[in-house]
Amino acid sequence: MKNGWTNFVIGTVRIRIVGKGIERFLNNCVRQQIMISNVHKVDGQLATRTILLKDVKKIRILIRNADCKIYFIRRRGFPFLTKRVIKNSGFRLGFLSFFIILGFVSNMVWKVEISGAEPQTEHQMTKQLAKIGVKRGEFQFLLESPEKIQRYLTDNMNNITWVGVEVRGTSYHFQVVEKNEPKPQQKTPYQHLIAKKKAIITNLFVEKGQPLVKVNDFVNEGEVLVSGIIGNEKNKKVVAAKGKVYGETWYKSEVEVPLKTDFQVLTGNGYTKHYLDFQAFKMPLWAFNKEKYTSKVTEKVEHPLYFFKWKLPLSYEKVAVREEQNSQRVYSKQEAVEKALEIGRKKLLSTLGEDAKIKGEKVLHQEQDNGKVRLSIHYQVIENIANTQPIIQGD
């Protein structure tokens, strides 16, 4: 027992032996290879010594056949220290709290790094990320997945082409590719205004230039509406024609609307479950209700958990369950026609300029076939038909 550190780890027990058969008992211990140290014989019937904790069971067996008694007077070593610590409720609570806090800290966002972006773009992206909670001090398992964060940034920032999102432990790294917008071509200072399509002129607002058409004139595509050359033969001046020329144009649209439509709608009922996923099994943390829906939509979001920079073999999983039901929409023939006209108007206006408006519409053809109503619609539209054309030297 010369190695004190080894004995401390294993544990030692100080014993006292009282009786007439001490020598015989010690000889039996030697035969059983029980290591004994620090032997102190007080008198013929009393002795103290130290044994290893692992030999206590052997000692208990040997003492039964010996003409002596044994008393345990002192316990030392790591096993006894651990036992005393475990019995201390304050230590247990502190030990558990330490690992819980350490686990939470290891799964918080401590760094958000953006590379490849100009300072202005980086500032804008930081503000967008803060709106969805991607900032220092937020818990990672409460944030959206990297794919959803990437989609959000792409949809809400017009000055980036692509952004990569990578989670490294407690850090979020963003690699940005900005849009390289071509420099706008310098417009020639001199230009005409020409018609971009066939139309009947309904109104003119000319700021600069010489109008060559008037209200109710019919113009063809490419015809000059406002000339950039003003003055007479003796005193000509070239300017950049500017203004708006409104004309009545014509469009034709084909629209189809089914009389019956089946689709799924969410009822508004649902619940969210939270799990700790240990790979082999899942332990529910919250929402233990087992409400069953005939039809449902399930969305899962999984966040791996970390201990400092090391990824743990468990993760936090949030499962959102939403009830849905079948619904059927039925139109009468007249309702289907009205819906088709509404769809046709919205579709047409989405392709026109901001100041365009529909003057009139007429159904050219209507038919009902295979549970659908089909319309062929003619539209009269008032819109700005002016387009620019540079004035080339020599014109």
Do 121 and 164 lie in a common domain?
yes
Do 321 and 342 lie in a common domain?
no
> What CA–CA distance (Å, rounded) separates 163 from 143?
17
**Single-letter amino acid, residue 39:** V
One DSSP character per residue, 71-92 reads EEEEEESHHHHHHHHHH-HHHH
Do 344 and 319 lie in a common domain?
no
pLDDT of residue 136: 85
Do 77 and 19 lie in a common domain?
yes
Q: Are 203 and 246 in contact (CB under 8 A)?
A: yes
Q: Is residue 93 part of a domain?
A: no
Q: Is residue 140 part of a domain?
A: yes
Choose the final residue of a domain: 200, 219, 245: 245
Q: 111-115 and 199-208 as β-strands: parallel, antiparallel, unpaired?
A: unpaired
Q: Is residue 37 part of a domain?
A: yes
Do 276 and 342 lie in a common domain?
no
Confidence band, pLDDT 50/70/90 cuts, at residue 288: low
For position 23, which CATH number holds? 3.30.70.260
pLDDT of residue 310: 73
Give the range of the structural domain holding residue 363, as residue numbers without chain letter.
Answer: 254-260+330-384
Cα 259 to chain centroid distance, Å, stands at: 39
Confidence band, pLDDT 50/70/90 cuts, at residue 106: confident
Sheet holding 282-286, edge to edge: 282-286, 260-277, 310-330, 296-307
What are the residue ranges of helices labelled H in 40-198? 56-63, 78-87, 89-106, 119-131, 146-156
Confidence band, pLDDT 50/70/90 cuts, at residue 274: confident
Whether the pLDDT of residue 159 is over 90: the answer is no
Choose the final residue of a domain: 146, 178, 210: 178
* Section 66-94 average pLDDT: 75
Do 312 and 334 lie in a common domain?
no
* Section 329-356 average pLDDT: 90
User: For residues 377 and 233, which has the higher predicted lDDT (pLDDT)?
Assistant: 377
Helix (H) or strand (E) segment spanning residue 381: strand 372-384
Reading the block at residue 7, the tokens are 């004995």
Q: State percent of the chain over pLDDT 90.
A: 23
User: Residue 279 carries which DSSP code?
Assistant: S
pLDDT of residue 4: 64
Cα 58 to chain centroid distance, Å, stands at: 62
Q: Is residue 299 part of a domain?
A: yes
pLDDT of residue 187: 59
Do 338 and 369 lie in a common domain?
yes
> Model confidence over 166-191: pLDDT tens digits?
888 778 889 988 877 666 555 557 88
> What CA–CA distance (Å, rounded) separates 336 from 375?
10
Do 240 and 273 lie in a common domain?
no
**Single-letter amino acid, residue 130:** A
Do 273 and 240 lie in a common domain?
no
pLDDT of residue 248: 95
> What CA–CA distance (Å, rounded) separates 38 from 79?
21
pLDDT of residue 343: 92
Choose the final residue of a domain: 157, 178, 199: 178
User: For residues 250 and 133, which has the higher predicted lDDT (pLDDT)?
Assistant: 250
Cα 273 to chain centroid distance, Å, stands at: 18
* Section 360-379 average pLDDT: 92
pLDDT of residue 393: 61
Q: Of 129-133, 315-319, 378-382, give the lowest mean pLDDT range.
A: 315-319
> What CA–CA distance (Å, rounded) separates 192 from 229?
8
Q: Is residue 340 part of a domain?
A: yes
Whether the pLDDT of residue 249 is over 90: the answer is yes
Quote the Cα angle for 348-351-356, to 5°. 75
Confidence band, pLDDT 50/70/90 cuts, at residue 265: confident
Whether the pLDDT of residue 215 is over 80: the answer is yes
pLDDT of residue 22: 75
Do 283 and 231 lie in a common domain?
no
Give the chain's domain count: 5
In angstroms, how far is the first alpha carbon of the chain from the final one?
A: 113
pLDDT of residue 98: 76
Which residues make Cβ contacts (< 8 Å) with residue 111, sequence separation at least 6? 136, 170, 171, 172
Q: Are 196 and 387 in contact (CB under 8 A)?
A: yes
Whether the pLDDT of residue 62 is over 90: the answer is no
* Section 217-240 average pLDDT: 88
Do 78 and 16 lie in a common domain?
yes
For position 112, which CATH number holds? 3.10.20.310
What is the value of pTM for the model shown? Answer: 0.51
User: For residues 341 and 300, which has the higher predicted lDDT (pLDDT)?
Assistant: 341
User: For residues 7 and 390, which has the higher predicted lDDT (pLDDT)?
Assistant: 390
